[in-house]
Structure 1
Amino acid sequence: MTFSFSLTVLITFLSKLGLETFYPNKLTLRSLLEINKNSINEEAASSVQKIPWCFLRKLFKLNAECRGCTQVSNSEDNEESSDPLELDLYTADESADNEVNPLDLVTALFLCADSFLQQEMALKMTMCQFSVPLLMPHVNNSQSTLMLWALRDIVKEWCPHLSESRDFVENHIVQAKIPLYSFVRLQNCGLSKSQMLNQVLILGQQNHNIFIHREMKGGAIERHISNGLAEVYWYLPRGREHPDVFPDPIAFANLRGNISESLAQFTFLFQVSTATFVFLDKIEKEEHEILTSLQDVKSKLFLVVNRKDGSSKEDMESVKKTVK
């Protein structure tokens, strides 16, 4: 089964955010400024339709808190209600309509933005040290858009430890020869690969998250359109005098959703990656067939097994069978 969200699901979600008239690729920098000219100082979203603009305003100010724009701020209804039962009913019945997963929000905005706004968004996201879209899922099919145009203006500099000179290298990031390491998961996986990647890459910066994960604000909200999204982040060393995690630049790709639902994206990432890391608890029959059908598996595929106390013998046997 290949993941695809229907056009109905997409339009319903975009309508919820007030973005349906901008799909596909009709949102421009100019329209963004026009829409926000009367609310430029508004820091919180007073309605769900204002969430995208709250996110974009903060992003364009390079405010790393922009990904916290996932839900409506305290509404007048809640403030005016003095009945606890009424408030509980509101929370139970309507709160889901007033919040969005930040991954869905980013996906929606990139699907609605034109190519130039996509470039600006990607540039600002990298400046905030966020991951950016690499593969954008399509509606009703197994294809994805490789976001090279959106990433083409990103210029970075780094200082490899192994370089004979101590000069910094500067290059457009999509043109640089940097190895790609991809991280994917199976359906049953209980590990958060995004959290694990953050812990490795941020080097003790506990308050910064490169990849959105379930423990972040809004990260546990149900996703509707972002499964199949692959994000990328470039780790760039600063030189021998710094406590770099890796001595040379490395690109990290993170596929959202499991590989059975995003087979086309997984296959592409496996083909272009130096190594692919698969997070799992056990391996189902369909997943076994997918993994064992790949070419050059031994040199490129690594299984990251979440061996829990309650793991059954059958779970471990399914892993050993695939490894063999």
Structure 2
Amino acid sequence: MEGLTVVLFGNSPSVQFEPENILLEGEKPFKTVETSKIVPLQREIAKRHVSVINMIDLHETDSVDHLIDQLVKENEIHAFIFVVRLGQLTDDDKMGLEWVQRVFGDKVLQFVMILFTYEREEESDTINDIKNPVLEQLLEKCGGRFHTCNKMMNNQSEMRDLMNKIELLFNENKQQLYTGEMLKQREDLKTSGCQTYCIPEPTISEERMEDTTTSETGEKHGGKNKDLETRVRQDQCLQQEDTKKRNLFQRLHLEGRQHNKLRTADVPQLTALSLQSHESCSEEELIQTFLQKLLMMDYSARYVNVKGKKQDHKQRRDKNSENQGDICDVFKDLSLSNIETSQSEQIHPMDVQMAVFHCADGFLKQLMVTKLSQCQYALPLLVPDPFTRRIEFPLWTFRQINKSWKIKHTNNETISQTQPIYKASTPMVFFFRFGSVSSSKSQLMNSLINEKHNTFFHRNCPGSSRTRELMDGVVEIAWFCPSGKNADKFTDHVSFCNLHGDARGHEKQLQILTQMASKMNLQ
């Protein structure tokens, strides 16, 4: 083979951009599209001439059509290498593959190979242990093709094996390359489908004329109008939800952290705040207080109150009462009280936990989950992204958790077992609800697992509020581990899964868990 042309795409946290990088040699990811063209990097790898086209982070940039057109006109591509951080599959990663498919067409998938990168040598063999339905779906899309290498991409042996796999892919594709002709076919298909997907906005009269049908009696019936109105209402509701969630991240000073992730190194910083014991703190201190309490295995991490706002308002109101005795001041106070109530809605304790989880990198997520387990709290099992609604299955974060239990047999023999929980095969009981119910299913589950401890946070826990932005659709899991005594409610270890929110709005989670569960409890 004369040479190889490969495209690298994905997210920059998956790659170390240093001069030792064999593929990129310090080349930085795209941050702007001011350049008029992409110039391939010329490399000599394993006695092969390789043209490397760096498209890392390009999917986060607007207006790239001119770059894509130039790219495929000047290059015939052997493989698209999708770079993903091993064990830290994010929604940004999933969107990266969807972006390539959208830009280059469905045919591009036959040229895609996933490149999992790792930082520590011991991580390199974990790919075979990770059972993640989202990851399995991505691999299936890419024909099961993948390779692993270190994040530095400086290992000659790993790079040689990667080149061999690209050649194998080339032969599997019958030596076919991705060309400008394939992109043109995709553009032609998109154009021909414009009438289906690109409907111009009609005027009101046109819309009514087009969206009504006449029955045999001459009576007109609404058709698409109702569907359109329903979709508009749904979109408006989603936009309102997104606005509330963005406001929450802003109040917690986490704006931008969904891309620039929090790391474990950011947490154990000694400050004046960390040297004090806090039952309450200001909103800007909530995240730091929660994390530091959690890392110290302080179960009260979930119960930190926000202080300051109500007291400040009371002082202002008392001062106004002293200075002015007018009856109008009563209405002024009521007005101030209403403003204060709307501006200072209490942040739900579980929103604090989930906001940190969404903004944490893989290692911090794993540390959080490990500490939550040590505090005997339920763990996040299925986590929808707050904005894209895509579901993450963070099983990798469970790897350091071991559970022990004792089983008492009929002959009074007691057997003790200890297993990593992600490998343990346990019967699962799944709790969910349709609509609103008067009783709390989380509280019911707590009574089954541990009556003296709130394993699942519920409506009657301290700090609970009606405003909860990040928990709907989250599935948490906890385990009952018998002690081998007669008082045990169950004779064997059992896992309990809890779908938060109305199950009617979370069909995917409902579908996954009904397939996995041994028993289901509907409220």
**What TM-score does the superposition give when structure 2 sets the normalisation length?**
0.48
CA distance in structure 1 between the partners assigned to 2:488 and 2:272 by the alignment: 44
CA distance in 2, matches of 1:156, 1:176: 9
Tell me, yes or no, if the aligned pair for 1:158 and 1:168 is still in contact at 8 Å. Answer: yes
Which residue of structure 2 lines up, in the alignment, with residue 111 of structure 1?
358
Task: Give 1:89 shift.
Answer: 6.2
User: Of 164, 169, 181, which aligns to 2:429?
Assistant: 181
**Residue correspondence of structure 1 range 216-295 to structure 2 within 5 A:** 216-240=461-485, 243-279=487-523
Match of 2:271 in 1: 37
Instruction: Name 2:340's counterpart in structure 1.
Output: 94
In structure 2, relative to structure 1, the CA distance for the partners of 1:264 and 1:80 (3 Å cut) is same
CA deviation string 1:140-178 (max 9, x = no partner): 445311120111211111112238752421111111011
Select 2:407's aligned residue among 145, 160, 172: 160
2:261 matched to which residue of 1? Answer: 26
Q: Is the 8 A contact 1:238 1:244 kept in 2?
A: yes
1:120 aligns with 2:367: yes
Are 1:51 and 2:286 counterparts? yes
SS at match of 1:18: coil
How many angstroms does 1:194 deviate by? 0.8
Q: Which amino acid in 2 is paired with 1:94?
A: E
Q: Give the letter aligned to residue 423 of structure 2.
A: Q
- Provide the alpha-carbon RMSD of the alignment: 2.8
- TM-score (ref. length: structure 1): 0.75
Cα contact 1:78–1:87 (8 A) shared by 2:
no
What secondary structure sits across from 1:21 in the alignment?
coil
- Kindly state the Cα deviation for residue 215 of structure 1 after the two structures are TM-superposed: 1.0
Correspondence for 1:306: none
State the Cα distance separating 1:30 from its structure 2 match: 1.1
Distance 1:17 1:276, change over 3 A: same
The structure that is strand-richer by fraction is 2
Instruction: Tell me if the contact between 1:72 and 1:99 (Cα under 8 Å) persists in the aligned partners.
Output: no
User: What letter corresponds to residue 358 of structure 2 in structure 1?
Assistant: L
Structure 2 residue identity aligned to 1:48: E
CA distance in 2, matches of 1:236, 1:72: 38
Determine the C-alpha separation between the residues in 1 that align with 2:410 and 2:391: 36
Deviation per CA, 1:49-81: give whole Å up to 9, x if none: 211221112111211111111423577625744
Deviation at 1:200, TM superposition (A): 2.4
Matched, 1:68 2:303: yes
1:77 aligned partner, one-letter code = D
Q: Structure 1 residues 148-157 or 79-88, which shifts more? A: 79-88
Once the two structures are TM-superposed, the CA of residue 82 in structure 1 deviates from its matched residue by: 6.5
Q: Deviations over 1:170-223 (max 9, x none)?
A: 1111110111111000013222101111222224x2xx2111111112223311
Q: 1:215 aligns with which of 452, 455, 460?
A: 460
Offset of 1:13 from its aligned partner?
A: 1.3
Q: Secondary structure at the match of 2:274?
A: coil
% same residue? 26
Q: For 1:3-22, what aligned pairs fall within 5 Å after superposition?
A: 7-22=242-257
CA distance 1:73–1:149, shift in 2 (3 Å): farther
**CA 1:128–1:4: 2 relative to 1, 3 Å:** farther
Distance 1:88 1:44 in 2: 30
In our comparison, the structure showing a higher alpha carbon Rg is 2
SS of alignment partner, residue 135 of structure 1: strand
Write the letter of the residue equivalent to 1:264: K
Tell me which amino acid in the other structure corresponds to 2:505.
Answer: E
Write the letter of the residue equivalent to 1:228: G
Deviations, residues 209-260 of structure 1 (Å, cap 9, x unaligned) = 11111111222331112100111111101113x5211110000011111111
